[in-house]
Amino acid sequence: MTGNRQSASPPMLEAHGLVKRFGRVTALDGADFELYPGEVLAVIGDNGAGKSTLIKVLSGALVPDEGEVRFGGEPVSFRSPIEARLAGIETVYQDLALSPALDIVENLFLGRERRARGILGTVFRRLDRVGMHREAGERMSELGLLTVTDLSQSVETLSGGQRQGVAVARAAVFGSRVIIMDEPTAALGVSETNRVLELIRTVRDRGTPIVLVSHNMPQVWEIADRIHVHRLGRRVAVIRPGTHSMTDGVAIMTGAMGPGERH
């Protein structure tokens, strides 16, 4: 239903000629990257291909040695994940950057709490707890996440999939323009994985493009609109689940097949 819009609109997030060296190791060697509005772009690659380095550059955790990153057409150079996040690039980390002892609402609004109106908010700095609770409920149900009924339960009491849901919801709720997800289902069981995939589709259909880093090929072929194949520090191909089989993808990823070939 999506993924064909890139011909019409310019990339949301793009990078050209990225180079990143760690000592004598070249992790990125002239890498390019494009993410178009409204798509799920999967990034696949063998271990050590440099895909985490690519993701860290895009999310502001690493500064590239060469090359440029453009966001919404404008050149950007993030020096920290916080800068990237403020610009609208939200990263959902594999180890879930949530605060386990705080509850769901508190986690959703952590760092961007809302104050009550009037003198209570300005002078007494009182939080608008009721308002935040209501908005959290609305947003979570929009995303189909209201299997969690009690928003004031602490995050540590949630299952892995529910926590992932909270992390994704936090990224999706606050109007971020791009969401990067690093192995979001790595620690989850089958049904929870399906729920997270469903959530990814929902977020995409609401218009936020998603970069999905995954080792799970069936999952990538199920959900991605386009697949960015990374090998030896650069992008070697962009394929589609419709035109290339999983075997083709793995062959390109490992270098057994050239990007242009097809079985």
- The distance of closest approach from Cβ of residue 150 to another protein in the complex, given in angstroms and rounded to an integer, is 10
- The distance of closest approach from Cβ of residue 85 to another protein in the complex, given in angstroms and rounded to an integer, is 7
125 or 240: CB nearest another protein? 125
- The distance of closest approach from Cβ of residue 11 to another protein in the complex, given in angstroms and rounded to an integer, is 26
d(CA 152, CA 149): 9
Site for another protein in 100-119 (CB under 8 A): 100-102, 106, 110-113, 115
d(CA 88, CA 165): 19
Contact range with another protein by CB under 8 A, out of 79-87, 218-226, 239-247, 255-263: 79-87
Q: With CA atoms as reference, report the closest residue to 41 among 253, 254, 189, 239.
A: 239
127 in Cβ contact with 114 (< 8 Å): yes
Antiparallel, parallel or unpaired: β 210-213 and 178-182: parallel
Site string for another protein, 140-179 (x = CB under 8 A): -------------xx-xx----------------------
Q: With CA atoms as reference, report the closest residue to 3 among 235, 211, 226, 242.
A: 226
d(CA 220, CA 101): 33
* Beta carbons within 8 Å of 5's beta carbon, 6+ residues apart: 36, 37, 38, 39
- The distance of closest approach from Cβ of residue 78 to another protein in the complex, given in angstroms and rounded to an integer, is 13
Q: With CA atoms as reference, report the closest residue to 89 among 151, 14, 176.
A: 176
φ, ψ (nearest 5 deg) of residue 86? -65, -35
Given candidates 19, 87, 127, 250, which one binds another protein under the rule CB under 8 A?
A: 127
Given candidates 82, 147, 205, 262, which one binds another protein under the rule CB under 8 A?
A: 82
- The distance of closest approach from Cβ of residue 157 to another protein in the complex, given in angstroms and rounded to an integer, is 6
- The distance of closest approach from Cβ of residue 164 to another protein in the complex, given in angstroms and rounded to an integer, is 14
d(CA 146, CA 140): 6
Given candidates 117, 125, 134, 206, which one binds another protein under the rule CB under 8 A?
A: 125
- The distance of closest approach from Cβ of residue 67 to another protein in the complex, given in angstroms and rounded to an integer, is 25
Given candidates 2, 29, 30, 93, which one binds another protein under the rule CB under 8 A?
A: 93
> Which residues bind to another protein, rule: CB under 8 A?
81-82, 85-86, 93, 96-102, 106, 110-113, 115, 124-127, 129, 153-154, 156-157
